[in-house]
Structure 1
Amino acid sequence: MNNENTVSVLNDLLNITNDRIEGFSKVEDKVWDTHSSLKADYDQMVAQSQTMKNDLIQLINGKGGEADNTTSTAGAIHRAWIDVKNSFVADKDESTLENVVFGERAAIDAYQDALDSGDLCPESTRLVSDQLHHLKSSYAKFENLEERN
């Protein structure tokens, strides 16, 4: 197993995790008046993202790599699009929560791609699998927003 490939994949996941954290900061206090029941789940997602970030950095460093503790270009473009879109929509609460769902789905896909790549060592595979489980769990809590209204 090539440590360089493993570190590269883990850094991609770190960028995605940082994208999630940045995206979550855009949700802060925007939807809780109408969706107060989701606040605890949201707070758990934010805390879990910080833990995921720290675990990825620790593993990257342990593999002799240097953590790329930035966000991705795609994530930055998506956040800019959210800002533009939200300036035109009437129901900003629903739009904001739909963006959370979209971001979680994208993160799940990226994590699954990382597992499928074959570039992860067993230790990395265990961590990424565990983090994917958390992503799927948080996604499940938000995916049926339309049914809640």
Structure 2
Amino acid sequence: MKNQNKEIVEVLNDLIRINRDRIAGYEKAVENLEEGDAVLRTLFYQLSDESQKMKEELASEVRSLGGEPAEDSTMSGKIYRAWMDVKDVFAGDDAKSALEACEYGEDAAQKAYAEAIQDSAQFPENIQRIIRDQKDLLRLSHDLIRNKRDEYKADAKRTQLH
């Protein structure tokens, strides 16, 4: 494998790790939800599926470059390790806590992808595009999680006032 291919594979594998941890984080979030919270359960499953698709896209690129897709978590990744922390952050079983932890994880994913964009400045355009497109998609997910968290906060305040 050429030197640049090794560097590309390393960056893509770090993003695969982030997505693996994101999947595990959303699975943990589902476990911590109340039985009746179907809306959040569905959202968390959708976001987990989103990461599964991104992980597969990245793995395909790694294989095409002659590398092996990462099978481990971010503990050995260089970009960012926060999703592992998210899995241990859940302080309560309420939706607001789950959403706050997921937002923290989404922030971590944004940081990882921002660093990957910096690291990929000399990569082929198709690789840069994949990283940018996935970061944009994750930004939408981050905003969705943040908005849901704000909704749950507002609902909790209204409930306290009554």
TM over 0.5: yes
- Tell me whether 22-31 or 9-18 shows the greater mean CA deviation: 22-31
* 1:119 Cα deviation from its structure 2 partner: 5.0
Aligned residue type for 1:104: E
* 1:135 Cα deviation from its structure 2 partner: 0.3
Q: Which runs of 5+ in 1 are unaligned?
A: none
**Which secondary structure state, in structure 2, belongs to the residue aligned with residue 97 of structure 1?**
helix
* 1:32 Cα deviation from its structure 2 partner: 5.4
- Choose the corresponding residue for 1:122, options 125, 140, 158: 125
- Is 1:134 the counterpart of 2:141? The answer is no
Aligned partner of 2:67 in structure 1 is 65
| Residues matched between the structures, number | 144
Relative contact order, higher structure (CA 8 A, sep 6+): 1
Query: RMSD over aligned Cα, in angstroms?
Result: 2.3
Aligned residue type for 1:113: E
* 1:28 Cα deviation from its structure 2 partner: 1.4
Counterparts of 1:11-26 in structure 2 under 5 Å? 11-26=13-28
Mapped partners of 1:104, 1:119: distance in 2: 26
Mapped partners of 1:77, 1:46: distance in 2: 15
- Choose the corresponding residue for 2:113, options 111, 116, 123: 111
Highest Rg: 1 or 2? 2
Counterparts of 1:14-53 in structure 2 under 5 Å? 14-31=16-33, 35-53=37-55
**Which secondary structure state, in structure 2, belongs to the residue aligned with residue 2 of structure 1?**
helix
From the superposition, tell whether residues 37 and 92 of structure 1 become closer, same or farther in structure 2 (CA, over 3 Å): closer
**Which secondary structure state, in structure 1, belongs to the residue aligned with residue 107 of structure 2?**
helix
Q: Is the 8 A contact 1:9 1:119 kept in 2?
A: no
Q: Which runs of 5+ in 2 are unaligned?
A: 76-80, 156-162
Mapped partners of 2:122, 2:108: distance in 1: 20
